Amino acid sequence: MGVDLSRQEQNDYSLTRALLASATGDWRDAGLEREASDDIRKRLGREPGPGGFFLPANLSMRAPYVTSGTSTGGALVATNLLPSSFVEVLRAKAVVFNLGPTQLTGLVGNVDVPRRATPASAYWVAENGTITESEGTFDKVSLKAKQIAAVSNYSRLMLQQSTPDIELAVRSDLAAILALGIDQAAFSGSGSNNQPTGILNTSGIGSLALGTNGGAITLDAMLDLRGKLTNANVSAVNGAYIVNEKTYTALAKLKTSGSGEYLFAPEGNTPSPGNLSVISIHGCPVVTTNLLTSSGTKGSGTNLSTAIFGNWEDLMIGQWGALEILPNPYGAGFNNGSVDVRAMQTIDIAVKHPESFAACTDIVTG
């Protein structure tokens, strides 16, 4: 949940300062951070966990390291450190929120969204003829609060010796951990073990098979995947493809049979909104993330990739409250002064219509 912080206040806000204050109970040097948490608490109408605080949603986030070793944070506080050149870990890309899903925020209880399942029927009748009665049917799409969380550990020195660049690293890692977890759940959440049900495990989505043991990706196959939606009366105007990098590379290599020219030359395509992609198919961008598997199997086929086409506004993401940060100064690290930090977010994911998504899970990409 956001608060009305000015640009300067956003720059001045320090997560590490708030964590140190929360861990010690002394907020005298963290007035801005406490004021922001209190504002969110008043809007939500509830308290954070004991000793915890609420974090404004319009700040980006990141999880911790210690100064005892170079790879875990020591390099960030060295004498001649260049924190502005911080080398980040290689991650898959989080893309779902950039595709325009329907976000339901500020939820409190579990949610049922009514849905028309079947329409009524119209009939031609003779003059003074009797009209046949018909009614549509209804069902619902349910969202139930589920929690995604991460726990990390900060040394006491890390909190005390932080620089603006370390602060950015702390924020961005926490955000990336949870964002990638939410994206993974949106694609392939099992619906069990406290996970949401992702698109690939939603009953009734469209399915395209390329072969007994899988098959190569083609432009025709991508169009057939799109056709699974349009043939079910789903608009593809705001549709987008999601593929992994191996599939994207295979698409980028496709050539015409006659002249041998690339089908998707970058100079011949206009990047989609948000610069998500330089390849588009009939106006629908092809967006990449390696959260989609490239290790599937079918028959004797191995290392098979998955692609999804969808009308992404028909993906609903329910959000309860704000991202909560809770430090625990009395955990396992009590004897060495380290602080455990827990980040938690409460969400659920569902699709409005299964027909709004289609998947191909047997793409041969090597």
Condensed to tens digits (0 to 9), the pLDDT of residues 98-146 reads 899 999 988 889 988 888 888 888 888 888 889 888 888 888 889 999 9
CA dihedral (22, 25, 28, 32) positive or negative: positive
Structure tokens at 43: 């809007």
Q: Is residue 297 part of a domain?
A: yes
Q: Which of 9-18, 49-58, 134-143, 197-206 has the highest mean pLDDT?
A: 197-206
Phi, psi for residue 159 in degrees, rounded to 5:
-70, -35
Q: What is the pLDDT of residues 189-238, one digit of tens each?
A: 999 999 999 999 999 999 999 999 999 999 999 999 999 999 999 998 88
Residue 28 lies in a domain: no
**Who's near 55: CB < 8 A, 6+ residues apart?**
15, 18, 36, 37, 40, 61, 322, 323, 324, 325
- Whether residue 261 is contained in a domain is answered as yes
Lowest mean pLDDT among 10-24, 227-241, 296-310: 10-24
pLDDT for 167 equals 59
Worst-scoring range by mean pLDDT, 9-23, 79-93, 174-188, 234-248? 79-93
Q: Which residues pair with 207 in a beta bridge?
A: 359
Q: Which of 353, 99, 119, 127 is nearest to 229 (CA)?
A: 353
Average pLDDT over residues 9-21: 83
Residue 325 is assigned to a structural domain of this protein: yes
Whether pTM exceeds 0.75: no
Give the pLDDT score at 77.
55
State mean pLDDT over 261-274: 58
Mean pLDDT of the chain: 82
Domain that holds residue 278: 93-115+134-155+175-366
Tell me if 84 is assigned to some domain. no
Average pLDDT of the residues in 251-267? 80
| pLDDT above 70 for 79 | no
> Does residue 180 or residue 82 have the better pLDDT?
180
pLDDT band at 70 (very low <50, low <70, confident <90, very high): low
SS3 state at 236: coil
pLDDT (average), residues 66-74: 54
Residue 75 belongs to some domain of the structure: no
Beta-carbon contacts of 181 under 8 Å, excluding residues fewer than 6 positions away, are: 148, 150
Is 79 a member of any domain?
no
Query: Is 64 domain-assigned?
Result: no
Look at 296 and 77; give whichever has higher pLDDT.
296
Phi-psi region at 185: left, alpha or beta (left = phi > 0; alpha = psi -120 to 50): alpha
pLDDT grade, residue 80 (50/70/90)? low
Q: Which of 72-81, 85-94, 146-155, 211-220 has the highest mean pLDDT?
A: 211-220
Q: What is the structure's pLDDT at 91?
A: 64
Give the total number of structural domains in the chain.
1
| CATH number of the structural domain spanning residue 146 | 3.90.1690
Instruction: Write down the pLDDT at residue 250.
Output: 93
